[in-house]
Structure 1
Amino acid sequence: MREATSAGVADLIQEARAVYRDDLAATAALEGYATRLAEPLRVAVAGMVKAGKSTLLNAIIGEEIAPTDTGECTRIVTWYRYGHSPRITLYPVVGEPRTLPLKRVEGRLVFVLGTERAQDVERLVVEWPSESLRAVTLIDTPGIASLSEDVSARAVSFLTPGDSPSEADAIIYLMRHMHASDLRFLESFRDTEAGRSGTVNALAVLSRADEIGAGRIDSLLSAGDIAERYRRDHSLRKLALGVVPVAVLLAQSARSMRQSDFESLAVLAGMDRAAREKLLLSADRFLRAGVPEGLGAEARASLLSRFGLFGIRLGVVLIRAGFTDPTPLAHELARRSGLDPLLAMVDRQFHARADALKARTALVGVETLLRTSPPPEGAGHLAAALERLQVNAHEFRELRLLAALRTTGTSLNDDLAFEAERLIGGAGTAAHLRLGLEPEATPEAVTAAARECLRRWRLVSESPLTDRSGQDVCRVVMRSCEGVLAGFAALQLNH
């Protein structure tokens, strides 16, 4: 995002604080928006009960610090942010925040709430020295469509408040299959104040992807086909930037692999193939078996709970294929779990637009404040400054057009609409992604492709067959092409 736009949003918030200086509630809200601009991007992990939200969060962080059972803590909105030393802070609905003791059981972090009930806790904030949290704050939310209406309402109200921007700048939404309740939630997230501003800032994850193929070694391939079908589905396409299949349990355990896990998998890899395949026919057979020697009942139960049958089968295959050290095996398991493609998409779609998404949230907050709590006087210049930022900042025009292309569509033909979406950053904001080039494309190739796209879209804009709405699309696309060219011109000057 251009520094001028980011600075303009920060200046607008400061002006608004001066106008609302006598309104304590408004001032507090504006201070919160100013803080959000300076903080890492906030990404919420949401989905129905047992979709694997906390498990995926652990996989992203690379440590088992989010509780994955069905206890009280999974009913509380929990923030995970970077901190130089571990700390857990409980913020009650009523009263002062307090620090919770740090406790680990079998390598997992455990939250000790004491006598506090989940419904009396506004949020938990976990500060953790993980490099994965330097650029993003992850927010674990209770399950949508929970049997407990209170738990479900807590998640929905946090993510989709009726009269203010969501606490999350973007969402990773997990689903086991595409249900009507999933679409309803994503619709409601889009219909929040932030959503109505013209952004599509959700990614969908087809979680537990290994279960789609009943734990077979090719389960992720089957899940990939289903994810592609969902990705093309019009109902979901307008609500999410993409659909990624992930075996979340395998992803978590691969990222936190223990020496004992590797040793157990190695024992299985040393078995006769026929005996091993018979052993892995079902979870029950695996737990009850008395073979192989050296793999006791406790070790089998631990391996199954951490990797599932799919992860065990894949781990054994990889060890027999030459991954005979724990670290390379863990990396390969994480890659094959689908986690790497998800992290790449999060980087392309969220991190690359982080400043724009945060600034968009702040502008929506100021706009909502002006509409719902107009000050008695002196706000005319605020409204004018707000409108200038919304209209003139190209990053926001790209976000609005991306949303329009995925929802209402355009008068341009399908091929042009597809190219327009890519050029404005629908597949990621890096120049090679916008232009459909390989990552290793030379600056000369990128510049030539950008010039050709700019020339072609000027012709489309000038065509008598292109109506006014199509010309609006062309202007945004041409400005994006010009931005790519300007960026590479600046690089050449610096070198």
Structure 2
Amino acid sequence: MIAERTRAVLDRALAVYAQDPAAAAVLRAHRDRLDGPLRVALAGTLKAGKSTLLNALVGEQIAPTGTAECTRVVTTYRDAPAARITAEHRDGTPDRELPVVHRRGTLVIDLAGTPVERLRGLRVDWPSASLRAVTLVDTPGADSTRPGIAGRARAFLSAGDTAAPAEGADVATVLDAAPDDGADVVLHLVRHLHGADVAFAETVGERAARGIGPAGTVAVLSRADEIGGGRLDALVTAAQVARRYRADPGLRRHCRTVVPVAGLLAETARTLRGSEFAAVRDLAAGAREDVEDVLLSADRFLEAPERLVAGDHRTRRALLDRFGVHGLRLATTLVRRGAADSAGLAAELVRRSGLEELRAVVGTQLVAHGDVFRARAALAALTRVLRAVPAPRAGGEAGAAELAGAVERVLTGAHEFVEQDALVALHTAGLGGRGDAEEARRLLGGDGPDVTARLGVPPDAPAADVRGLALDALARWRRAGEDPRAERACTDVARVVVRSVEGILAER
């Protein structure tokens, strides 16, 4: 197992660097993370919906959202027995616990006057079953105009940069510049595929190809309802756009897939309140033509007569903030079609938001390979320590050289790493034009590491059928790997696929 091999190397490194507190802290943190949840960063430009999607994934409103720039410091959300908010300082000041404040069902993070510039990050411990398999990390907008804010996101996503430090650089500064608590994978949120989004995907993807930062990226069309102009079939239009993006070689070479999600709709559905269902039900009870008229725009809804929309301006604004115009149109339609209670409405809204598809992708393409991502991050951290920290007197240069060799042996000898590199290189290798990319991606574990997932058959498929499919795939990909007319990159990927299929046959 890759986790055991990595742990053994880290144990040896901890013995060598036992007298160096900074280096030992980095190594110990990564050793502990080998058995922990996958760290998933939500990244993207300002107002892409990162905090909203985080709330939807957790099923509770624990990340601040709003029209202003809410996330100005990297904030980690993890499962814990009790709620706690901790501020981590940059200047060595001890971590400080902040008050846990709820306001109208939403967690409020109050920095108690501490300037954002002094903070290295925030850690939110929260009891949640949704956070047991993954730890979610909310990052500032990559295009923030506030001084230093965008740089925080870039620095966090560069964790694991193994480049040699500048001569005379302070060791503590070097290690802090690439935090030991970086992300394993990224959900890259985009509203539309603009140049800034493509550039961001390229930066993260190119770093991943060089073993720097998060190793896997999934692009999320996070405001999918806006793509279809807020119509009831907006998610259908967004799904078509996502398919085009998935076929775009410029984007696909840097991310595993593209998933459309109506983030606000998903958050509201996962946190729907009884009073909100009652308001939607009352609205749906009006004449259909009148309801459709007041839901043509936000202004019409806010100024609608009381006989159609109950409540004052503030109440209506709160409902609009929770659902959006598209969400209200969809929710009232679903109530008319039979959603009789808040649970039924919430379930249908979740289904139509695209959230379940995203959760499935995160589970099969990211969490299922969590041991590989965590081991890769740990070995990158060890490499950073070896380059940044002078050889300790106890072990001498020989001890550091031995560790560097051990890291290299694990990286080159583990087929799990080779598979991940092949998945990153798949679309740059030109296989997409041959029509073989989808099968190669699946056989390399793109839909999950299980044998049946790799072969695209049900989990209960007969053993004889599984073996037959594996033998057929082995013959096909051996021919592809030996094709003298193919480019070198194509044959390299094909040979990795062959090794993966041979592993399937050996397992069976």
TM-score over 0.5 for the pair: yes
Work out whether 1:319 is the aligned partner of 2:335. Answer: yes
Comparing 61-70 and 16-25, the one that deviates more:
16-25
Following the alignment from structure 1 to structure 2, what is the Cα–Cα distance between the partners of residues 148 and 424? 42
Structure-1 residue corresponding to 2:7: 10
* 1:307 CA drift (Å): 0.6
Percentage of identical aligned residues:
45
Following the alignment from structure 2 to structure 1, what is the Cα–Cα distance between the partners of residues 57 and 381? 29
Work out whether 1:399 is the aligned partner of 2:420. Answer: yes
Work out whether 1:30 is the aligned partner of 2:45. Answer: no
SS state at 1:104 partner: strand
Work out whether 1:153 is the aligned partner of 2:147. Answer: no
Structure-1 residue corresponding to 2:357: 341
Residue of structure 2 aligned with 1:330, choices 341, 346, 367: 346
Residue of structure 2 aligned with 1:457, choices 458, 465, 477: 477
Structure-2 residue corresponding to 1:493: none
Work out whether 1:196 is the aligned partner of 2:198. Answer: no
* 1:403 CA drift (Å): 1.4
User: For the Cα contact (< 8 Å) 2:38–2:374, is it kept in 1?
Assistant: yes
Report the residue type matching 2:218 in the other structure.
L
Following the alignment from structure 1 to structure 2, what is the Cα–Cα distance between the partners of residues 14 and 439? 37
Structure 2 unaligned segments of length 5 or more: list them.
Answer: 164-177, 392-396
Report the residue type matching 1:226 in the other structure.
V
Following the alignment from structure 2 to structure 1, what is the Cα–Cα distance between the partners of residues 258 and 309? 41
Structure-1 residue corresponding to 2:86: 89
Alpha carbons of 1:469 and 1:222: their partners in 2 closer, same or farther (altered >3 Å)?
Answer: closer
SS state at 2:143 partner: coil
Alpha carbons of 1:461 and 1:159: their partners in 2 closer, same or farther (altered >3 Å)?
Answer: closer
* 1:445 CA drift (Å): 3.5
Following the alignment from structure 2 to structure 1, what is the Cα–Cα distance between the partners of residues 252 and 441? 13
* 1:226 CA drift (Å): 1.5
Comparing 178-187 and 261-270, the one that deviates more:
178-187
User: For the Cα contact (< 8 Å) 1:72–1:117, is it kept in 2?
Assistant: no
SS state at 2:426 partner: helix
User: For the Cα contact (< 8 Å) 2:46–2:69, is it kept in 1?
Assistant: no
SS state at 1:406 partner: coil
Work out whether 1:52 is the aligned partner of 2:72. Answer: no
Comparing 77-86 and 298-307, the one that deviates more:
298-307
Alpha carbons of 1:24 and 1:299: their partners in 2 closer, same or farther (altered >3 Å)?
Answer: closer
Work out whether 1:353 is the aligned partner of 2:351. Answer: no
* 1:413 CA drift (Å): 6.5
User: For the Cα contact (< 8 Å) 1:200–1:240, is it kept in 2?
Assistant: no
* 1:290 CA drift (Å): 1.3
The Cα offsets for residues 182-228 of structure 1, whole Å up to 9 and x where unpaired, read as 22222222344x54128850111111111122211011111112222
Comparing 201-210 and 56-65, the one that deviates more:
201-210
User: For the Cα contact (< 8 Å) 2:443–2:455, is it kept in 1?
Assistant: yes
Report the residue type matching 1:390 in the other structure.
L
Residue of structure 2 aligned with 1:429, choices 449, 452, 455: 449
Following the alignment from structure 2 to structure 1, what is the Cα–Cα distance between the partners of residues 463 and 289? 54
Structure-1 residue corresponding to 2:241: 226
SS state at 1:64 partner: coil
User: For the Cα contact (< 8 Å) 1:267–1:292, is it kept in 2?
Assistant: no
Alpha carbons of 1:482 and 1:99: their partners in 2 closer, same or farther (altered >3 Å)?
Answer: same
* 1:73 CA drift (Å): 5.4
Following the alignment from structure 1 to structure 2, what is the Cα–Cα distance between the partners of residues 399 and 286? 49
Report the residue type matching 1:155 in the other structure.
A
Following the alignment from structure 2 to structure 1, what is the Cα–Cα distance between the partners of residues 200 and 489? 30
Residue of structure 2 aligned with 1:385, choices 394, 402, 406: 406
User: For the Cα contact (< 8 Å) 2:41–2:137, is it kept in 1?
Assistant: yes
Structure-1 residue corresponding to 2:298: 283
* 1:456 CA drift (Å): 2.7
Structure-2 residue corresponding to 1:20: 17
User: For the Cα contact (< 8 Å) 1:16–1:30, is it kept in 2?
Assistant: yes
Structure-1 residue corresponding to 2:75: 78
Report the residue type matching 1:49 in the other structure.
L
Give aligned pairs, total: 483
Following the alignment from structure 1 to structure 2, what is the Cα–Cα distance between the partners of residues 171 and 242? 12
The alignment yields a C-alpha RMSD, in angstroms, of: 2.4
Structure-1 residue corresponding to 2:169: none
Following the alignment from structure 2 to structure 1, what is the Cα–Cα distance between the partners of residues 499 and 119? 47
Report the residue type matching 2:367 in the other structure.
H
Structure-2 residue corresponding to 1:492: none
Listed as ranges, the matches of 1:356-371 within 5 Å are 356-371=372-387
Structure 1 unaligned segments of length 5 or more: list them.
Answer: 490-495
* 1:62 CA drift (Å): 0.2
Following the alignment from structure 1 to structure 2, what is the Cα–Cα distance between the partners of residues 117 and 207? 30
Alpha carbons of 1:412 and 1:45: their partners in 2 closer, same or farther (altered >3 Å)?
Answer: closer
Residue of structure 2 aligned with 1:64, choices 57, 61, 64: 61
User: For the Cα contact (< 8 Å) 1:247–1:338, is it kept in 2?
Assistant: yes
Following the alignment from structure 2 to structure 1, what is the Cα–Cα distance between the partners of residues 328 and 463? 44
The Cα offsets for residues 305-344 of structure 1, whole Å up to 9 and x where unpaired, read as 1011111111111112222121121011011011111111
The Cα offsets for residues 10-46 of structure 1, whole Å up to 9 and x where unpaired, read as 0011112222334333222222221221321111111
**What TM-score does the superposition give when structure 2 sets the normalisation length?**
0.89
Structure-1 residue corresponding to 2:252: 237
Alpha carbons of 1:305 and 1:469: their partners in 2 closer, same or farther (altered >3 Å)?
Answer: closer
* 1:134 CA drift (Å): 0.4
Work out whether 1:414 is the aligned partner of 2:434. Answer: yes
Report the residue type matching 2:146 in the other structure.
S
**What TM-score does the superposition give when structure 1 sets the normalisation length?**
0.91
Following the alignment from structure 2 to structure 1, what is the Cα–Cα distance between the partners of residues 433 and 325? 47
